[in-house]
Amino acid sequence: MMAFGKELQSKASHDALLKLCDQEIRLLETMKKCITLRIKCDRDYTTSLAGFSTLGSRLDGMSIYDGQVYQAWSTVLKETDNICQKMKKSVEDLNENVLNKLNNLIREKIEMKRRYVQERIQVDTDYLKSYTATEKIPSN
């Protein structure tokens, strides 16, 4: 059973706690939308980089000499591949770790709010029963 201080027993406190919980859930859901959008954008960007690399590799094979321009182009392609690999890993980490943990946190917050409301209803019901029972006791 809940054990709140006296200042948290009023209806206003109950409403404030529910409002705070709702705001936290909305914030977490907004964070989830932003991270999901970032994952999508990063995937799209990674796909574009891979396409650029593929196209650039065709040009890379056309070179018949080993000059500075060829070496610079080769460096650009290698670094683009490195960036692409790092972005893929970053997207996987965001999706597997951050997004999953955020989903779990949202579920936990929703469950916590549901349990709090159930407990509050039970406390209010028990209080009403006790109050009604004491009202029926004749006073001396």
Residue 1 has pLDDT above 50, yes or no: no
Higher pLDDT, 134 or 28: 28
pLDDT (tens digit per residue) in 110-124: 999 999 999 999 988
pLDDT (tens digit per residue) in 49-108: 999 988 888 775 665 666 788 888 889 999 999 999 999 999 999 999 999 999 999 999
Domain ranges (residues) in the chain: 36-131
How many Å apart are CA 9 and CA 3, to the nearest integer?
Answer: 9
How many Å apart are CA 31 and CA 8, to the nearest integer?
Answer: 29
- pLDDT for residue 46: 95
User: How far apart, in Å, are the Cα atoms of 101 and each of 28, 35, 93, 120?
Assistant: 11, 12, 11, 28
How many Å apart are CA 2 and CA 120, to the nearest integer?
Answer: 8
- pLDDT for residue 11: 81
CB 96 within 8 A of CB 39: no
Higher pLDDT, 30 or 76: 30
Residue 35 has pLDDT above 90, yes or no: yes
Q: How much is the average pLDDT of 17-44?
A: 96
Structure tokens at 121: 């209803």
